[in-house]
Every structure is written in structure tokens, then in C-alpha cells.
Amino acid sequence: MALFRLVSSLLLAIAAATSPAGAANPEGEALNALKTRLRDPTNVLQSWDPTLVNPCTWFHVTCDDQNRVIRLDLGNSNISGHLVPHLGRLKHLQYLELYRNNFSGKIPEELGNLKNLISLDLFGNKLEGEIPKSFANLKKLRFLRINNNRLTGSIPRELTTLSNLRVFDVSNNDLCGTIPVVGPFSKFSWQSYENNSRLSGPELQGLAPYDFGC
């Protein structure tokens, strides 16, 4: 009997050692990867405890009834740092609200993996580089606001396939080339594009390349 108890104790110890803190939740890992790369002087992310079973009790994170992350609200949070490709693992995410912070660096191509995304708000940061062509994968996207950053390059023509897009704002960047005129882009006002000094107006299809002037 004593031997049986000893063996049982050893097996339990091995099981505990080989299943680290709550059998790693992929969404929690993705969010923690973001947290570890951010500066958070006001401790907005203090509740983000990676040892919990899932991130559904974390402040600024919303989950559905199956404990899947569907919303991340970090607008106006005085945080800075780089966005991480790990965010592309939040495959059930519908709202990504990171506006009016001090995010810098490039927008990860992996955000194009968020195929349930409805709203992407990155405006009012210091993001640079080009608008990812992978955004064309976001077929449910209705709101795309990336204005007031430092983005360069042309507006990807792949985005003209986003038939559900209702709001598009890239104003106050450093974009170049011409403005798409097909698909949802036929309905956006000039205010969506203003203060991009190298953006030369609506595309004249067949007469000049869309990235003319870039």
C-alpha cells in the first residue's frame, strides 16, 4: 500500500510538472505576448495574469459565452510599444480598438488572419510602413480607421474586395499614389484621404498605374 501511494504521488508530481499553469490558453498567450512588449506607465494591463485559465477576466478584454476573446479595448490607454504578430492568433476577435496611444513600428501582416474582425481602429498612433495587403482577407470588416499615423506607400487595391466596408479613414498619413474608385471606395468622401500630400486623387483606370507618384 505504501508503495502504491508513493507511485501515485510521483505520477501526480510528473503530471503537474508537464502541464504548465493551466495548459496554456493560445489567446491568453497572444495577449501576454503583446503585454510583454508594451510600456504601460499607468498599469492599465495590471490584471493581465498569464497564469489564469483564460483571459476573460482581464480588464479591457471581452469574451463570448464560450470564453473566446471577441473584443480588445485599449483605446486612450497611454501605452506604447510595437504591435505583435501574435495578435493574428485571436481568430474569434471582432473588435480591435487600439486608438490614441503611442504604438509605433509596422502594422503586422498577421492581422489579416482575424477573419471575424468587424472593426479595426488604430488611429492616433505613430505607426509606420505600408497598409498590409493582408487586410483584404478581412471580409467581415466594416470599420477601418488608421488615420493620424505615419503610414506610407499606396492604398492596396486588394482592399476594393471588402464589400462590407462602410467606414475607411487614412487621413493624416504620408500615403502616395491614387485613390481607388471601385467597390466600397466609390462611396467614401474626400475626408477619408485628406492631408496625404503625395496622394494624387482618384485613380484614372487604364491611364496611369495606381501607385503613380510613389
Cβ neighbors of 109 (< 8 A, separation 6 or more) are: 85, 132, 133, 134
Across the range 143-170, mean pLDDT stands at 97
What's the CATH number where 168 sits? 3.80.10.10
Please give the tally of structural domains in the chain.
1
pLDDT at 98: 98
pLDDT at 201: 79
| Residue 47 maps to a domain | yes
| Residue 11 maps to a domain | no
| Residue 53 maps to a domain | yes
Task: Please determine, for residue 11, whether its predicted confidence score (pLDDT) is greater than 50.
Answer: no
What's the pLDDT band for 9 if we cut at 50, 70, 90?
very low
| Residue 104 maps to a domain | yes
* Contact by Cβ (8 Å): 182, 159: no
Mean of pLDDT over the chain: 89
Higher pLDDT pick, 206 / 69? 69
Task: Please determine, for residue 7, whether its predicted confidence score (pLDDT) is greater than 50.
Answer: no
| Residue 12 maps to a domain | no
Predicted TM-score of the model (pTM): 0.86
| Residue 184 maps to a domain | yes
pLDDT at 157: 95
Angle at 88 between CA 169 and CA 74, to 5 degrees: 60
The pLDDT > 70 percentage for the chain reads 86
What domain range is 59 assigned to?
22-202
Closest CA to 72 of 112, 107, 35, 109: 35
| Residue 121 maps to a domain | yes
23 burial type by CB count under 10 A (0-12 exposed, 13-18 middle, 19+ buried):
exposed
Task: Please determine, for residue 19, whether its predicted confidence score (pLDDT) is greater than 90.
Answer: no
What's the pLDDT band for 208 if we cut at 50, 70, 90?
low
The pLDDT > 90 percentage for the chain reads 82
| Residue 128 maps to a domain | yes
125-141 pLDDT, tens digit each: 999 999 999 999 999 99
Q: How far apart are CA 84 and CA 22, in angstroms?
A: 23
